[in-house]
Structure 1
Amino acid sequence: MNFKKIISISAIVIISGLIIYGFILINQIFSKNTTFTDKEVYIHIPTDANYQTAKAIISPYIENMDRFEMVANKRDYPANVKAGRFLFTKGMNSYELVKALRANIPVKLAFNNQERLENLAGRVSSQIEADSISLLKVIKDSVFMKENGFNEENVFALFIPNTYEFYWNTSAVKFRDKMVKEYRKFWTEERINKAKLQNLTPVEATILASIVHKESVKKDERPRIAGVYLNRLRLGIPLQADPTVIYAIKKKSNDFNQVIKRVFYNDLVMSSPYNTYINTGLPPGPIAMPDITAMEAVLNPEKHDFIYFCASVERFGYHEFAATLSEHNKNAKKYSDWINSQGVKR
Structure 2
Amino acid sequence: MYIKKILLAVAIIGLIVAAIVSYNIYNIMFNSNTAFNNEEAYVLIPTNATYDEVKLQLEPLLKDIESFDVLAKQKKYNTNVKAGRYIIKKHMNNNDIINSIRSKNVPLKLSFNNQETLENLAARISTQIEADSLSLISVMKDSDFLKANGFNNATALGMYIPNSYEFFWNTSAEQFRDRMLTEYNRFWTDARLDKAKKLNLTPNQVLVLASIVQKETAKADERPRVAGVYLNRLKVGMLLQADPTVIFAIKKSTNDFDQVIKRVLYKDLELDSPYNTYKYAGLPPGLIAMPDISAIDGVLNPESHDYFYFVADVKNFGYHKFAKTLSQHNVNRQEYVRWINQQGVNR
TM interval, short-chain normalised? over 0.9
Aligned-residue offset at 1:177: 0.6
SS of 2:79 mapped into structure 1: coil
SS of 1:96 mapped into structure 2: helix
Q: Which residue of 2 aligns with 1:281?
A: 282
Aligned-residue offset at 1:340: 1.0
Q: Which residue of 2 aligns with 1:35?
A: 35
Q: Which residue of 1 aligns with 2:242?
A: 241
SS of 1:163 mapped into structure 2: strand
CA distance in 2, matches of 1:56, 1:10: 43
Q: Which residue of 2 aligns with 1:116?
A: 117
Q: Which residue of 2 aligns with 1:26?
A: 26
CA distance in 2, matches of 1:297, 1:47: 42
CA distance in 2, matches of 1:301, 1:42: 45
Q: Which residue of 1 aligns with 2:256?
A: 255
Does the CA-based 8 Å contact 2:118-2:140 persist in structure 1?
no
Does the CA-based 8 Å contact 2:87-2:100 persist in structure 1?
yes
Equivalent runs, 1:267-278 vs 2, <5 Å: 267-278=268-279
The letter of the residue matching 2:296 is M
Q: Which residue of 2 aligns with 1:309?
A: 310
Aligned-residue offset at 1:59: 2.5
SS of 1:290 mapped into structure 2: coil
| Count of residue pairs the alignment pairs up | 346
CA distance in 2, matches of 1:36, 1:255: 44
Aligned-residue offset at 1:286: 1.0
Q: Which residue of 2 aligns with 1:53?
A: 53
Equivalent runs, 1:171-182 vs 2, <5 Å: 171-182=172-183
TM-score of the aligned structures, taking structure 1 as reference length: 0.97
Q: Which residue of 1 aligns with 2:155?
A: 154
Equivalent runs, 1:1-346 vs 2, <5 Å: 1-102=1-102, 103-346=104-347
Q: Summarize deviations over 1:6-30 as a string: whole Å, max 9, x none.
A: 3333222211221121112111222
- Between 1:11-20 and 1:149-158, the stretch displaced more is 11-20
The letter of the residue matching 1:100 is S
Output the aligned Cα RMSD.
1.3
TM-score of the aligned structures, taking structure 2 as reference length: 0.96
Q: Summarize deviations over 1:196-238 as a string: whole Å, max 9, x none.
A: 1111111110110111111111111110100000011111111
Q: Summarize deviations over 1:36-89 as a string: whole Å, max 9, x none.
A: 333322111111122223223322322222101111012110111101111122
SS of 2:47 mapped into structure 1: coil
SS of 2:77 mapped into structure 1: coil
CA distance in 2, matches of 1:63, 1:251: 54
SS of 1:304 mapped into structure 2: coil
Aligned-residue offset at 1:324: 0.8
The letter of the residue matching 1:281 is G
SS of 2:264 mapped into structure 1: coil
The letter of the residue matching 2:75 is R
Gaps of 5+ in 1: none
CA distance in 2, matches of 1:245, 1:58: 52
SS of 1:100 mapped into structure 2: helix
Aligned-residue offset at 1:331: 0.7
Aligned-residue offset at 1:120: 0.5
CA distance in 2, matches of 1:213, 1:7: 88
Does the CA-based 8 Å contact 2:207-2:287 persist in structure 1?
yes
